[in-house]
Amino acid sequence: MHNEVPSTKALFPYLPPYWVEHVQNTMFKGPTEFYYPPGSPIAAVPGSRPTGQAGDGPTGARPGAGQPSVIPAGADLDLLRSQVLVDVELAIMCSPYPVDSLHNPDAAIAFARAFNEWQIAEWLDKDSRLRASIVVPIQLPEEARKEIDRVGNHPGFVQVALPVRTDRPLGSRLYHPVWEAIARHNLVAGIQFGGVPGNPPTPSGWPSYFYEEYVGAALTFFGFMHGEAIGIGQTPVVAVSYLAVAVVFVACAKFLVPEEAEAQPAPVVLEHEAAPGE
């Protein structure tokens, strides 16, 4: 289950005063390069977005873009209780909060820490059925390791949220401290759709539409499944979960297979005994 921060203001109680002042007095509003565009009609189920506006970021649009701000789906616990958590005994949250989009290392560290403290106070402490995923600044592997060690023993955290797209393959030795920390705290590595490392999401460059990027993620997941195990195999054993993979592959199939072809019966292959010399 995705959970999102409704506004950067929601993190103010958990941010250092410096960053609160920075958000209030500059154009910087925290992470805004969302994995799922908050205003996209295909990025959320109708009726799942809370009403109102987000205020001071995340806004779904860069400052000055002239677009209305929206509160992303998954930002209201009461709404999720009524729509998703009915008759649910346990729910694991995995937030796509894009801390990896922050190029200022101090900002990435501060916002990851604030987000995890916010998850504890506003989600885990308010509903005993919930479990959460640790958000880490994966672009700073050693700092990501420190954040896992900082909150990894909290009983509410059962997973570490890792975007499938990173600056380097997650099996790189640069990320070994992250994998070792995940194993040390007996957590699961949740590999999810998304990632904002700054390089194109497809081998042929930048797409024009969100749906193209979503479909192209299938290739990234395949690359992780087939190649990353080589590097990860050099670290302690870690349980890995793949999040949103099925949805990505369905989107890929819908994109590649025309609707009229879907309605056609499957071809019938007739057995044929080969003639001599055939």
Residue 198's pLDDT is what?
A: 84
Identify the CA nearest to 188 among candidates 227, 145, 152.
152
Measured in degrees and rounded to the nearest 5, phi and psi for residue 135 equal -90, 130
Identify the CA nearest to 138 among candidates 220, 57, 196, 188.
196
pTM above 0.85, yes or no: no
Chain segment 128-143, per-residue pLDDT in tens: 999 999 999 999 999 9
Question: What class, spelled out in words, does domain 8-44+69-259 have in CATH?
Answer: alpha beta
d(CA 196, CA 3): 18
Kindly report the number of other CB atoms within 10 A of residue 31's CB atom.
21
In the predicted model, is pLDDT for residue 215 greater than 60? yes
Chain segment 144-192, per-residue pLDDT in tens: 999 999 999 999 999 999 998 888 888 888 999 999 999 999 999 998 8
